[in-house]
Amino acid sequence: MTHAACQRLKLLAFFAIFALPVAVAWGMVEWRIGIPEERTAHGELQLSLPPLSQWPLTSAKKQGESDWLLAFDCPEACDDNADRWWRLHRALGREADRVSRLRIGGGGEPLPGAAVARWTGEAGWRSPHRLWLLDPEGRPVLGYAPDVATADVLDDLRRLLRMNPEPPMARFDQSSSVVGGGADDE
């Protein structure tokens, strides 16, 4: 093999190193080979729901202004569900202070750290024992059926908290904010 042929072979190998990944990626996209079909969120996206301020609720407080909110509907006594979401909240560890809990309805005293609100009207999208995860601005992000596994909700919540880091000075803001609307029953 001559020197010129060797140099051409090196040049072709150099082009192949850069062209091969592009060709493989194009083939994966074109023929849908090797692209995962799995979901990353366990809940249902809730883009059609109104923000929390438009829900027919008595006003409720959350711990911090930049907190995510776990809101769960308790049409009657729901001690098991309240305990379940309290334990999920504790399982967040150091991120627990970025999440507030809101129990809507139910009887009895709320568990520590939970706020209570009551429905003041009907909402067509409401269903008993449902859990909603709302962003810091009060927009519903995910909704969960009553039979959802707690580990799935914890996984989604951890992912959202990791993807949306806390603002640097947020831990020093100790004020609580009012969410929801309507007249206060209590």
- Same domain assignment for residues 4 and 89: no
The reply to whether 80 falls in a domain is yes
The reply to whether 52 falls in a domain is yes
pLDDT at 182: 47
Task: Determine the Cα–Cα distance for residues 79 and 25; give it in Å rounded to an integer.
Answer: 51
pLDDT at 169: 63
Q: Identify the bridge partners of residue 178 per DSSP, sorted by sequence position.
A: 61
The reply to whether 61 falls in a domain is yes
| Cβ atoms < 10 Å from Cβ of 95 | 15
pLDDT at 185: 41
- Same domain assignment for residues 124 and 155: yes
What's the whole-number mean pLDDT along residues 79-105? 88
- Same domain assignment for residues 119 and 61: yes
Whether the predicted pLDDT of 145 surpasses 80? yes
Contacts of 128 (CB under 8 A, 6+ apart): 73, 75, 146
Kindly indicate the confidence band of residue 186, based on its pLDDT and cuts at 50, 70 and 90. very low
Closest CA to 87 of 144, 157, 31: 157
User: 5 lies in which domain range?
Assistant: 1-38
The reply to whether 98 falls in a domain is yes
- Same domain assignment for residues 101 and 18: no
The reply to whether 134 falls in a domain is yes
The reply to whether 103 falls in a domain is yes
Reading the block at residue 73, the tokens are: 């509907």
- Same domain assignment for residues 57 and 33: no
**Percentage of residues in the chain with pLDDT exceeding 70?**
85
- Same domain assignment for residues 112 and 162: yes
Whether the predicted pLDDT of 183 surpasses 50? no
The reply to whether 184 falls in a domain is no
- Same domain assignment for residues 150 and 64: yes
- Same domain assignment for residues 109 and 125: yes
pLDDT per residue as tens digits for the range 18-47:
999 999 999 888 888 887 766 677 888 888
Counting the structural domains of the chain, the total is: 2
Domain of 71, CATH number, reads 3.40.30.10
The reply to whether 130 falls in a domain is yes
